[in-house]
Amino acid sequence: MLDIRLITEDSAKVKERLKYRRVQSDLIDTIISLNTEKRETQKSADELRNMKKTLSKDVGMLKSKGEDASGIMAKVAGINTRLESLEEKEKSVNSGLESAMLIVPNLPLEDVPEGADDTSNVEIKKWGTPRKFDFKPLPHFELGQKLGILDFERGARISGSGFTLYHGGAAKLERALINFMLDTHAQAGYEEKLVPFLINSASLQGTGQLPKFKDDLYRIDSSDLYLNPTAEVPLTNIYRGEVLRESDLPLKITAYAPSFRLEAGSWGSQTRGLIRQHQFNKVELVKFTKPEDSAAEHEDMLSEAEKILKLLELPYRVVLLSSGDMGFSAAKCYDLEVWLPGQSGAEGGYREISSVSNCMDFQSRRASIKFKRDSTGKQEFVHTLNGSGLAVGRTLVAVMENYQQEDGSILIPLVLQKYMDGLKAITAAKQ
């Protein structure tokens, strides 16, 4: 959530920065109008409350003297009627203002490229050289079916399209990747958590999934619980409503969690296989920092996500997202895109495997997460950062496609072999 003072005091800047964020300028005008109405209503209500307080004292004084207070009591009754109406208006205006504020996305930072979509994204760097094959590399879904380790038909039979059953080496490789990622991030100072996989609406509102993206969420009927869309939500909400100590910042936490999203099926044939699923595994990174440190911590988090790809020796590139391509809560976002030799398209075989975002104080305002300055005792909103470290299913895809052999087997990267009980290659699975 944006600071209401920023909106009211510099609306022109806010409108300009939101130009490519699919926000109509009249929404900002509505917020300003509602905020003015809120202040005026609150002022009128406060004046009536003060008047009532004074008259109530007069009533008590007259009664204590045995004198008639009926005239003043009638005035108090009239004030109560007017106050009741104003308090109802206060509730309505406050509700309208909060609803409007909750659907305004974060403001892009000044160094974020302007643009309406991914065509304005800027490539920052590339790492690694894509492998030259002396045979035609297969996409992971063909490899998986050829080896009998990815079962799309049975997954769909169990749950529907967008769900996959893993067999043998694929199941073991997915688990190995999760443990490898968690261990690597723990060595970098992240504390591992095991979070709930069912999330309430207050938590989803705190990180920005609600109310904006309610149609992408799986909700449990007759409850206030949703299936976890990303571990960013439970990790960030660990400290919802709390005041942290400055000396504890930055707080660095990580968790594995299965993630569930309804929007997976709408992306067409270019995302066949595991690229976009309704259910997928992710290892998430979250940081809580002081405002003055968040920019540096953002770059650091990016390097920590990159480290996973470097250790797996998977070529990738880093892309700075444009203002129109960023997520709702992000003020600045990098995408890590891994090279997939079995893919084709305008992106040249690179596919997103992680988004690393600096949300500034956008989420902490929504979730009321603050810290206290050790020197002054002043309370301020923390800055929150999050990133995939990495999307596990897409990392499995990258390993399969980059390490495939002509006979259809898949070599296991050296850093993963200890997590695979020494297994050096995946061959056909028993089903």
Kindly list the catalytic residues: 261, 276, 352, 355, 394
Burial bucket for residue 236 (CB in 10 Å: 0-12, 13-18, 19+): buried
Per the listing, tokens 């996989």 go with: 197
Instruction: Report the DSSP beta bridge partners of residue 387.
Output: 285, 356
Burial of 175 (0-12, 13-18, 19+ CB in 10 A): middle
State both tokens at 126. 């590339």
- What the block records as the tokens of 130 is 């894509």
Tokens representing 108 are: 């892009």
CA neighbor of 230 nearest in space, from 356, 351, 350, 75: 356
Q: Which amino acid is at 224?
A: D
Sign of CA dihedral 151, 155, 158, 161: negative
Place of tokens 């891994």: 338
Helix (H) or strand (E) holding 332: strand 332-339
Query: Among all chains, which residue has been given the structure tokens 């894509």?
Result: 130
H or E segment at 357? strand 350-358
Nearest to 285 by CA among 252, 244, 239, 326: 252
Cβ-contact 370, 246 below 8 angstroms: no
Dihedrals phi, psi of 228, to nearest 5 degrees: -55, 125
Give dist(CA 431, CA 429) in Å, integer: 6
Tokens 């061959």 correspond to: 427
Query: Rounded CA gap, 383 and 371, in Å?
Result: 10
Enumerate long-range contacts of 160-166, CB under 8 Å, 24 or more apart.
Answer: 160/278, 161/265, 162/264, 162/265, 162/276, 162/277, 162/278, 162/279, 163/277, 163/278, 163/279, 164/273, 164/274, 164/277
What is the Cα–Cα distance from 422 to 414, expressed in whole angstroms?
Answer: 9
- For residue 149, the one-letter residue type is I
